[in-house]
Structure 1
Amino acid sequence: MKIEEARDWLLSKEAMTPKKLQKMLYYCYAWGLVFLNEEADALEHKLFEADFEAWVHGPVHRETYIQYKQYGFLKIPQVDTHDFSFSEEELDVLNQVYDVYGGYSANELESMTHQEEPWLEQRKGLEEYEGTDRVISDKSMFCYYVKQLA
């Protein structure tokens, strides 16, 4: 799966702001690491390839930000497509993430990420509103979210 496919799948569920889309993609990616791998030192299976940076308002995939920044605080229109070729495992991850996080607002999702270790670790030493391109590591995400299952 490519990140564009995950993005379109999310946008087929509902219109959402760029900020909500970013957080939903982040949670899809992070939980994909947890559900598709057995251990932190062998993260070979990913829902899609992506780097999420620890921006001021939470994790951000830079290319997705650039693509949708013109929407600002407005919702990106819902996508009318249902032509996805996900594996059963991939679709299971997407559905679980959407079921858990889809009902939250962009601001609620931002607040959640701000309380979680992966984002906090990459923000260490930065001022509250200081920009950064620090990437949240896959291992950090896996280790944090796998603990949430216990």
Structure 2
Amino acid sequence: MALHRAIDIANWFVAKCAESGDLITHLKLQKLLYYAEAWTQTLTGKELFSEQIQAWAHGPVVPEVFQEFKKYGWNPLPAPEDQKIPVVSSEAEEILLQVFEAYSDLPAKTLEEMTHRDAPWIKARGDLSSEERCETIMPKAEILDFFRTKYATEM
């Protein structure tokens, strides 16, 4: 699978939400990115994007995507203009559609709570309080191991 830029995957999710008539916040977008990376690694053994994921207070965050969308705060993100909607590989799009179908109807805070129960986020945060600032990277190998184990037990 071709390696994508995290911002392109983010814009794909924003555009997909707009296409379906929904709005998406930055908080929810970050969780969808986390799950998209986890599912891609689990299903293909390859990374979806090269950017790292950090264990922030409200869950996993891709800092480069945060920087791009932080100006919107807690408000819904605007859909990208047609010419800015990224094209992703067919293999990636198949997985992104699955992630979208599995998680897009869930509220952002529910997704946040779900990620807070995942071992990679818990381990990266260590003994920090729930609201304490953290920029510790959640190693992608640990994300892969966690989701492989999780999905193996659910089958």
Identity of aligned residues (%): 30
| Structure 2 residues without counterparts, runs of 5 or longer | 18-22
Tell me how far apart the structure 2 counterparts of residues 77 and 19 of structure 1 sit (CA, whole Å): 14
Deviations 1:88-142, CA, capped at 9 Å, x for gaps: 2111111111111111111111010011111011111212221111000111100
SS at match of 1:51: coil
Deviations 1:70-104, CA, capped at 9 Å, x for gaps: 21111001235386432221111111111111111
TM-score when normalising by structure 1: 0.88
What residue in structure 1 maps to residue 51 of structure 2? Answer: 50
For 2:37, the aligned partner's letter is Y
SS at match of 1:136: coil
SS at match of 1:59: strand
Report the CA distance between 1:149 and its aligned residue.
1.8
- What are the equivalent positions in structure 2 for 1:1-150 lying under 5 Å apart? 1-14=4-17, 15-37=23-45, 45-81=46-82, 84-150=86-152
TM-score when normalising by structure 2: 0.85
Contact 2:52 2:137 in 1 (8 A): yes
Tell me how far apart the structure 2 counterparts of residues 85 and 75 of structure 1 sit (CA, whole Å): 22
| Structure 1 residues without counterparts, runs of 5 or longer | 38-44
Q: Provide closer, same or farther for how the CA distance between residues 21 and 124 of structure 1 changes in structure 2, counting only shifts above 3 A.
A: same
Equivalent residues, number: 143
Report the CA distance between 1:36 and its aligned residue.
1.4
Q: CA RMSD in A?
A: 1.5
For 1:93, the aligned partner's letter is I
Tell me how far apart the structure 2 counterparts of residues 121 and 110 of structure 1 sit (CA, whole Å): 16
Tell me how far apart the structure 1 counterparts of residues 129 and 8 of structure 2 sit (CA, whole Å): 34
Report the CA distance between 1:27 and its aligned residue.
0.9
Contact 1:16 1:78 in 2 (8 A): no
For 1:72, the aligned partner's letter is G
Moved over 2 A (4+): 78-88
Tell me how far apart the structure 2 counterparts of residues 24 and 9 of structure 1 sit (CA, whole Å): 11
